[in-house]
Amino acid sequence: MKILIVEDEPKTGDYLKQGLSEAGFVADLARDGWDGLELAKANPYDLLILDVMLPGLDGWQVLDGLRRAGIVTPVLFLSARDQIEDRVKGLELGADDYLVKPFAFAELLARVRGLLRRGRATPEAGLLNAADLEMDLLRRRVQRQGQRIELTAKEFALLELLLRRQGEVLPRSLIASQVWDMNFDSDTNVIDVAVRRLRAKVDDDYPDKLIHTVRGMGYVLEAR
């Protein structure tokens, strides 16, 4: 997931970029409204985090420019101004959420994940496939070569993430944030244990392995 942060305050911008990167997102940072608008027009971001008070163009103008250009990327406004009229103005211009400074990073992260989930909630096929593995999202069933595979809720969520992003190496930090809603702690092996258990159910009884470890990077699901 790619996120663009448009924030002119150096400490806040750097803090947000580092925190979101550690949570498994790809984060770009623009320091003024003009750069933010140009980056948002030129790149397919999944979410914009947009400060209201910016040099060049303010946040209202950036958002207006995006919506006039037909760009519907979700926008989370950040502002030190907590007046109701400011929040209403942002929502009327097409913002999706509004967070007042100062804020706790945990709250921002929760709102980011909520907006991203909402943005992905479009009608889609209820089946995910890789080789002879099939996941039925509506019936919450997984099978391989016609044989039912029983998974726990977390194993199902982990396999769904791997299937949706198949062919892409997923770092442990991203898996932790997306499946467990937690920041990755390098001292814990919860991700490795979960992948090992999932692999035992999905791969151990079949000659063609689908879940692979990429040493020093993370895990990938792909037919090789």
Query: For each successive 10 residues of the chain (224 residues), what is the average pLDDT?
Result: 94 94 93 94 91 90 87 86 71 80 90 76 65 88 93 90 88 82 62 94 95 92 89
Based on C-alpha coordinates, what's the Rg of the chain?
Answer: 20
Q: What is residue 172's predicted lDDT score, i.e. its pLDDT?
A: 86
Chain centroid to CA 64: how far?
24
Q: Is 11 exposed, middle or buried, given 0-12, 13-18 or 19+ CB atoms closer than 10 A?
A: exposed
Contacts of 216 (CB under 8 A, 6+ apart): none
CA distances from 84 to 81, 87, 89, 201 (A): 9, 5, 9, 52
Positive or negative, the CA dihedral 202, 205, 210, 215 is: positive
